[in-house]
Amino acid sequence: MQFFSNEDGKLVFRENGETLQIEPWGESSFRVRSVFLGDISDINYGLLEPENKITADIDVSKTDGSEGDADPGRRATITNGNITARCFVQPWGNALRISFYETKTGKLLLEEIPNGGALSLKARSFKRISGDNFRLKVRFSSDSCEKLYGMGQYQQERMNLKGCNLELAHRNSQASIPFVLSDKGYGFLWNNPAIGEVHFGLDTTEWVAEETKQLDYWITAGDTPQEIITNFTAVVGRAPMMPEYGLGYWQCKLRYYNEEQVLDIAREYHKRGVPVDVLVIDYYHWPRCGDWRFDTEYFPNPKKMIDELKSMGIECMVSFWPQVDIRSENYPEMKQQGLLVKSRSGVDVQMVFHGDNLFMDATNPRTRKYVWNKVKKNYADLGINTFWLDEAEPEFTGYDYENYQYFAGSVLETGNIYPREYARLFYEGQKENGQETIVNLIRCAWVGSQRYGALVWSGDIMSSWEDFRKQIVAGLQMGIAGIPWWTTDIGGFHGGEVDSEEFRELLIRWFQFGCFCPVMRMHGSRLPHSKIINKAGEEREVTGAANEIWSYGEKNYHIMKRFIEIRESMRDYIRSIMKEASETGKPVIRTLFFEFPQDERTWNITDEYMFGGNLLVAPICHKGQVKRNVYLPSGCNWINAFTGEKFAGGQDIAADAPIERLPVFYREDKELNFMF
């Protein structure tokens, strides 16, 4: 029997209803697709078409007489640069097993599980749900010593994901981006937006899609993490160049609820000589969710307000929610035109918050056009160039994914693309409007969100030391997953009491960390809250306590002001690493092993990172800590950016960290054009 064929430069396998296809897709990379009783779809959920066609070396007749079968029809290989896939049809049940190798050395990178002989196991299991939809499980053999990184943003302190079970779904503060980087020298993308799960077990790795039509994954080989991420971002897209106002300090809180407050804060920063690049107007500045305009009771002259902010060198960012209140002025038309997410059963309400809300369907191109026209008229035409895209998962009450339907398909089948299409709505509208540089803050992301100017923040996290530590890991994993623009609410979102000395210590340490994040942004729902009642007697969303740098005492004010000045001094350096991210896909904040992969110690460190290629940052992320251990990677000497002390690499040091500073070191072998 001839199981394999070479069809237009693709290796195709057919057996008992399954059609599987392996083709070159980028540098030293393959795309693998499989369907059961159907035709392979060309839909590219996460991948872009390669810029250049690559010709792979395909052999459908190789045999060495091993494994008890000399039939050449049971073997095939395909090679693309430094990756080779070897395919073998096992005699028991004609089950195909695919193994991926490094071409140069013959080193095994990843392989599917064997069928186990009489066990008749399946590496690719399609369980029919209905029609051409299946529950899919794909299993690979696991190297128990392997280290795995990436996968987006999960709220945990672990960097190495080996042994972890992860939900492939978005939630508030969770962004599932299914790309994983292995220390064995490969990267793997689960190119499927279905709700599901992955288990990085010691014996097997299992990827599960709850509802899908086909298997689709991408794999690449690289000698270094940089090479792997370069290959990956080349096929999923890279961030555009960060606008200049993304390089400095952003001021925000829950929430500046009227024009007077916004301008008073901006004027005070300006009077004090503290540079602010962006000032943010948070949610419920609108009458109802889905109106997508300023409430004239609180913002009677928004154009005048925006113009005054610009005169002080400040961009105005406004919050946007995708919810549409059933009382909104736009609800009847959007419902009639089919522009909303549909509930499959029960009452058609998808989130209850200040009213009954449905979500706009960002996967529908007609919705994107309709909503952008509202945004252009009510915001962009006033001079607003940057938006805060909140609720981007979207935040279904209860996250009952099986109960909702998008234009693109059921949420179980396509749910994870929503935040990317949400970012796309604004990016494409802004481009059409003539805007050249674009950054929009968003609460979630999926594969490719970065190419739509998405700056992801880590959601509504708690104001705690534990949550602070989790954000360091989250930001590094997001960079590996292709999202270089990332930030947090400095100080955390929930639970920070302005007058608490314990919170003030946490805030200062978080502020210092924020200085060395891709974007430095102050935000939080500070306690105590104050109620807001409108003229009609209706209770509106609360406003939190003051959250400006002078709100936490004179000593803390001067510390925070100093770190804003440090951020300003690094503007040229930050611009250069943003350029790297745009051109090569390199993260802005990087794991130590990204820069020093030959140093084995760097693969195990979770609380230090590189800010660009030159600066090593060691945040203070434990209460009361004024000294911490810092590992300085081998390969260069290091200089303390605050004290000028020099240290040899490849050693641990005890670094002083009084409340006024944190340990930051720069490489002696790299040019540095700023000093602290």
Distance of alpha carbon 313 from alpha carbon 308, whole angstroms:
9
Helical H segments across 212-364, by residue range: 225-236, 259-272, 302-311, 331-336
Find tokens 């916004």 and name the residue.
262
For 468, how many CA atoms within 13 A lie in the half-sphere containing its CB?
24
Count CB atoms within 10 A of the CB of residue 599: 18
CA-based nearest residue to 153, from 141, 132, 169, 139: 169
For the question of residue 282 being annotated catalytic, the response is: no
In the block, tokens 């020099």 appear at: 646
Give 329-332 contacts, CB < 8 A, sequence gap 24+.
Answer: 329/287, 329/288, 329/290, 329/291, 330/290, 330/291, 330/292, 330/374, 331/290, 331/358
Given 23, 393, 413, 607, the catalytic residue: 393
Residues 6+ apart with CB under 8 A from 51: 234
Residue 662 is encoded by which pair of tokens?
A: 């944190």
For 225-263, what is the HEC assignment? HHHHHHHHHHHHCCCCCCCHHHCCEEECCCCCCCHHHHH
Residue written as token pair 């109960």: 403
- Phi/psi at 497 (5° precision): -95, 120
- Residue 378, φ and ψ in degrees, nearest 5: -95, -10
b (16+ CB within 10 A) / e for 524-547: bbbbeeeebeeeeeeebbebbbeb
First-to-last CA distance in the chain? Answer: 70
Q: Is 393 a catalytic residue?
A: yes
Q: Known catalytic residue: 268? A: no
Task: Indicate which residue of 277, 282, 315, 390 is catalytic.
Answer: 390
3-state secondary structure of 18: strand
Residue 276: φ, ψ to 5°: -125, 125
Pick the catalytic residue: 132, 146, 356, 460?
A: 460
* Residues classed as catalytic: 390, 393, 460
